[in-house]
Structure 1
Amino acid sequence: MKWPIGALAVAGLAAGTVAARRKSAEPDRWLGVTVNLPPDEVENDPRLREAFATLAEDAETRLRPAPGGRGTELAAKPLQPPASGLGGAARRLAGRDPRQPVRSALRDIKSVLETGEVLRTDAPTTGKPTPGGMLVRLATRRAGGEGRL
């Protein structure tokens, strides 16, 4: 099927506009998690104060009730803006994006407050280094810093 040049230009312009809008909003973006506990219980927990104290040099933090009374939102905004363009993508893939340790810390705080310990995934169980196993290891390692695959 042949696409008309005008349709391709419109699609490219729309994608570029969305990407530009996302990039411009990215530096001020708060990263957050929702803890399934009431705000007063979370606020008075000494483990939260310790965790937020360790994040203080990397990010600004805040705590507020989650919408609909469904727990507590913990949020952090990295103080160092992420790099953009190809350099930013390379830093992100290499695990040197300033947002990655903040995301990891928020997930760890959520885990400790809800379960009492930091939960980690098990290592892949493949015995031989196969191409498929290599992809699983890469995705698992990336998910640790990103919070998603």
Structure 2
Amino acid sequence: MADIKFMNLSENGNPATTDSVLIGNSQDGLKRTTLGTIGDMFAVHGALHFEQVGINANTATSQIKNPAADKYTVNYPIQAPEVPGYTFKIWVNSATNGFIGPSYVASPLSASASIWLYQADVASIRSNGTSVTAVALYVKNELA
């Protein structure tokens, strides 16, 4: 006859991943496993993925119609790249690089969107060393 080890039963309001529970099915009967093993069953590793899309700021120079303007509102079309195994969900931010200017993403739920700069410094827009960026958020296909 097999040795049967009985566990002391007590209430635990703070379970740990090393604590054991009984699981069972009609094929294998009852077994003991840890809460950590059960948690791993539901864990999705790499659930989120981020991609940064950047554009040189001077690509919007042709939008500036007033040559005497110090400030101007311009926009930059952006496209979220395809990422195998992931689905695009949202643009999570936009930023200027090399200068300060208010920016936002129009249509943030669309993979094809626009970054808008509101009343940005024209000299910064025309500069070769400045850019605008946006970060795209993706969710693993199994969860999307």
TM-score w.r.t. structure 2 length?
Answer: 0.30
- Identify the structure with the greater helix proportion: 1
Q: Going by fraction, where is strand more abundant, 1 or 2?
A: 2
Higher RCO, Cα 8 Å, sep 6+: 2
Structure with larger Rg: 2
